[in-house]
Amino acid sequence: MLATTGWTAVRSHKGAEDARAASLKAWRHGSVSGRPLPSPDAEPSALSRFFTTLTAGQRERLAERYPLVVGNLGGAPTELRYRANRAALSQARAVEEKRSHDAGLTPAGRYEAGRRMHRFESLLAPDRQILAFDPAGDGRVAEVFGDLDAARRVSVVVPGVDTNVLTFEKTQRAYSAPVGMGRSLYAAERKAGPATRTAVIAWADYTSPVGVGMDAATGKLAAEGALRLRRLVRSLPGDSKVALFCHSYGSVVCGVAARELPARVTDVAVAGSPGMRAQSVSDLATTARIWAMRDADDWIQGVPHMEVGGLGHGADPVSAGFGARVLSAGDAQGHTGYFAPGTTSLANFAGIGVGAPASVRCARDSGGCADGLGPDAVAAAA
């Protein structure tokens, strides 16, 4: 069964992979007004300068012709990326609708195609702002809540294992999925700092491990994700301050990324972390404040916090020796409850996100977690 399922998944996504590759190839050979198009791998700042030289009509034509490129192009105007991704999602939806009736696929393959079709339909809702979309493989996607261009504070939610286009949002256990996490954090930030212009990005734009297996125990996928995360931060518009909220394996990604994060990242907060590929905060070599929390009934506490021969992710971020500022997560439930509305964990994230770190509630045995961060008194430990 596992072998057949794996074969079906690889076969079923070949068209999406071909579409992405074809779009990139066409872009590399394309031009605008006789000028060659820049490399899609160019720095976001260079790509931003390129788009400022174009007319509105030229930008729109590029988005229409190369939606799978422009929609994922750090440095392209935010609204243009949203429009390009709507076009890419519409095309991907049509592909999956056709595949859902393809007699050449197994019943499982047709069923999966139908699920992907419905997911793309959901992402096409008029009020959604899709910042990145790639249907290849299991799919990658990122969504924005709020006005990214006007925001003075931007929060990025980095999720963990089993994150893909199908698990990007869930009806049941909504706050365990990136969309639910992002929406919940945005609402909490609006409440915590109503005068602060904020935006939240639910960022599932990296390839995460499938299940708690070998990939989850090593840093290979985290290293690849860290490259993408750094690029995202470099591509954000304006001069907003940025906070990263990293859950489970997402904290491994953030730990690897920390060493070369731009200075605009002021805070990195991890929850339910198996480690950050470091033995202490100083190993992260970042000027950002490092926060950590873990609920008492989170199963991740049973994972060995060590690194031996490439396996494991280093010291426990909530341990005293690691040196992080340890936050309360007393009323979160289990490994996936940190973003649930009404929890102390979410309120702590929101305080950090709006730039009010002195308002956080520290863990019971870490009452000084916000020392030196402002005149406001820190709430008593839960």
Per-residue pLDDT tens for 307-333?
Answer: 555 666 689 999 999 999 999 998 899
User: With contact defined as beta carbons under 8 Å apart, do 209 and 215 qualify?
Assistant: yes
Per-residue pLDDT tens for 21-35?
Answer: 899 999 999 999 999
pLDDT given at position 35: 94
Per-residue pLDDT tens for 141-161?
Answer: 999 999 999 999 999 999 999
Count Cβ atoms within 10 A of the Cβ of residue 127 and give its class: 0-12 exposed, 13-18 middle, 19 or more buried: exposed
Structural domains of the chain, with CATH: 1-129 (no CATH), 138-382 (3.40.50.1820)
Which two structure tokens, joined as six digits, stand for 53? 């030289």
* pTM, rounded to two decimals: 0.91
Measured distance CA(27)–CA(61) in Å, rounded: 12
